[in-house]
Amino acid sequence: MASNGAGNGEFSFDNKRRIGLPKIQTQKTEDENVVCHDDSATPVKAQTLDELHSLQKKKSAPTTPIKSPHVFGVAVSEEERQKQQLQSISASLASLTRETGPKVVKGDPARQAETPKVQQPVHHHPTPALNISDSGLKFTHILYNLSPAELYEQAIKYEKGSFITSSGALATLSGAKTGRSPRDKRVVRDETTEDDLWWGKGSPNIEMDEQTFLINRERAVDYLCSLEKVFVNDQFLNWDPNNRIKVRIVSARAYHSLFMHNMCIRPTPEELEDFGTPDFTIYNAGQFPCNRYTHYMTSSTSIDINLARREMVILGTQYAGEMKKGLFGVMHYLMPKRQILSLHSGCNMGKEGDVALFFGLSGTGKTTLSTDHNRYLIGDDEHCWSDHGVSNIEGGCYAKCIDLAREKEPDIWNAIKFGTVLENVVFEEHAREVDYTDKSVTENTRAAYPIEYIPNAKIPCVGPHPKNVILLACDAFGVLPPVSKLNLAQTMYHFISGYTALVAGTEDGIKEPTATFSACFGAAFIMLHPTKYAAMLAEKMQKHGATGWLVNTGWSGGSYGSGSRIKLAYTRKIIDAIHSGALLKAEYKKTEVFGLEIPTALEGVPSEILDPVNTWPDKKAHKDTLLKLGGLFRKNFEVFTNYKIGSDSNLTEEILAAGPNF
């Protein structure tokens, strides 16, 4: 090789001359032996892969307790606290016939290197050795209050149909049931509930006796104890600290545990420290069926509530919404006993502290209208109204996903991220992007996420007494005004009625409106007679000066097929005028048949649409349709007419008089 090669085009690698490449300038260090930018690191302190993996996760601070409780002046050790917690869980899982709880231990069985120290079963009485069973010989591993990340791992590893979507949410399947099973829901009828609950025609409460409940409870508990592991959530209901309820959910699926983690109020470590015995317990056996030959059973599915025992049993359905709505029903019983009104409503609050309640059945726009970027969201579905004000019952939102679009509902779209449960959605198999228009599994696709995923959520989810109570109806008959101001009797009447009109197909393919009534805008969940909730609502509205409004988000200028849907922009103007108080200052006139007070003018809304008769070209057709709807209201209300509120029937008669008059 030539030594310099400058003239023959060859490169030189001589340190003194570099031809063809620029010379690299470097800084000289004081010590020529020091290496610049040393990337080397100390080797890991592990001799095996298992040891390395053990270094990856550091121990978290104990979840209970933070403070050091003392018993008779002696500090309770961490080991003793863990023992007490496991004793409580074992007692929850105790068989009523064997009167013992299972041997329980914390942790995932797949990660147990050796047989752990076990919490021996709780024996309420000395138990003969002859009663030993296979399940009594095994450990039941308790996965207690796992984090969303841990629950993701459990779901993806062990539950078929669990996937991480492109947004980070966990997609799951609820099995054969993709909605609630109201015909399979049972409530124990005993001395506790005989006189308190609403039974009979129109009631959602289908009775069962305690013996049958105990048979189903035993079946669910035996199934859960036979599993290698069960999930246990200890959480709260009701953001009002004076009236919150401690709930324990025992379930077989990570999906159910994550769902309830999102939907209930998540305790802080300090709150979990003093959790103690739960006020209510759910035993969710999921896909494990009930015995169809058991008395009161009509299918392999049964959702059973025992208010005296404060327990709920779920057999034969994996649909997570049964837990949410089962607990809502329980709150509809427990809260009124404390003179607190439980409500199936949305709730938001203005920057001045003015609170509005929104009631409405599916399709009325409750979610859309209660979600307002100019106002704080207290909650989207379940609330309590006490002497202190309003409070959300839940810690999360359960939103419909069918046809969800970022442009229409950006808050819900953005809330579907890591930690959110997506039920029964369809996604592209490679990119895992969800197609919210796809109904292949069900139309009832849902997302369950913590309420703090909504940017304008008010945390804690409490507010002062409501200023406005807004009843929403999507009137496909086209005869209810876009907005009406209600007196107290009218508010009670329309609250009890819970009206909307859906568009359903008839046999010959012509679509026509069908009236739908759901007492208190949530008949499937109420426990007491609707008039009791209505009387409490009126009493609280009167005491705190709230105004009732009936807002029609449905049709104008004719029924469905001939008229047109009232523009959302107009409805928003109406809602804004209610919030601001401007609508209270308007001039009003009274309508025929329903006797509703309607404004004659409202800024931003065409005056002619405020009175429906003006928008109908055929005045006779309008009158006929108005009378038809009035008749449907009367017929629906017949089931409530024989019920007395208080010692006399004056209030009942006052409510009846507030209905259609023709």
Tell me if residue 362 is catalytic.
yes
Tell me if residue 565 is catalytic.
no
Catalytic annotation, pick one of 98, 309, 383, 446:
446
Catalytic annotation, pick one of 141, 324, 325, 375:
325
3-state secondary structure of 145: coil
**Strand segments (E) across 429-533:** 434-435, 446-450, 462-463, 466-473, 483-486, 499-505, 511-517
In angstroms, rounded to a whole number, what is the distance separating the alpha carbons of residues 610 and 630? 19
Catalytic annotation, pick one of 29, 166, 299, 362:
362
DSSP string, 200-269: STT-S--EE-HHHHHHHHHHHHHHHHHSSEEEEEEEEE-S-TTS-EEEEEEES-HHHHHHHHHHSBPPPH
Q: Do 293 and 322 contact (CB within 8 A), yes or no?
A: no
Catalytic annotation, pick one of 229, 256, 366, 532:
366
Tell me if residue 180 is catalytic.
yes
Tell me if residue 344 is catalytic.
yes
Residue 451 φ/ψ, nearest 5 degrees:
-65, -25
Tell me if residue 59 is catalytic.
no
Structure tokens at 474: 């999507």
Task: Determine the angle formed by the axes of helices 530-544 and 488-497, rounding to 10 degrees.
Answer: 150
**Strand segments (E) across 335-465:** 341-344, 346-349, 355-359, 376-379, 382-386, 389-392, 396-400, 421-423, 426-427, 434-435, 446-450, 462-463
Catalytic annotation, pick one of 177, 180, 573, 579:
180
Element (H, E) at 550: strand 547-552
Query: Cα–chain-centroid distance for residue 381?
Result: 7
Catalytic annotation, pick one of 344, 458, 465, 622:
344
Tell me if residue 446 is catalytic.
yes
In angstroms, rounded to a whole number, what is the distance separating the alpha carbons of residues 275 and 85? 9
Catalytic annotation, pick one of 266, 381, 540, 625:
381
3-state secondary structure of 26: coil
**What distance separates the 2 farthest-apart alpha carbons in the chain?**
119
Tell me which long-range contacts 586-589 makes (C-beta under 8 A, separation of at least 24): 588/485
Structure tokens at 285: 């056996």
The number of CA neighbours under 13 Å toward the Cβ of 210 is 11
In angstroms, rounded to a whole number, what is the distance separating the alpha carbons of residues 11 and 630? 100
Strands ordered across the beta sheet of 376-379: 376-379, 346-349, 355-359, 466-473, 547-552, 483-486, 597-599, 588-590
In angstroms, rounded to a whole number, what is the distance separating the alpha carbons of residues 223 and 479? 54
Tell me which residue of 57, 58, 61 sits closest to 269, measured CA to CA.
61
DSSP string, 553-584: -SEESSSTTTSEEPPHHHHHHHHHHHHHTGGG
Angle at 191 between CA 306 and CA 298, to 5 degrees: 45
Residue type, 127: T
Residue 411 φ/ψ, nearest 5 degrees:
-65, -45
In angstroms, rounded to a whole number, what is the distance separating the alpha carbons of residues 96 and 218? 7
The burial class, CB within 10 Å (0-12 / 13-18 / 19+), for 324 is buried
Query: Cα–chain-centroid distance for residue 321?
Result: 7
In angstroms, rounded to a whole number, what is the distance separating the alpha carbons of residues 488 and 480? 18
Which residues form the catalytic set?
180, 325, 344, 362, 366-367, 381, 446
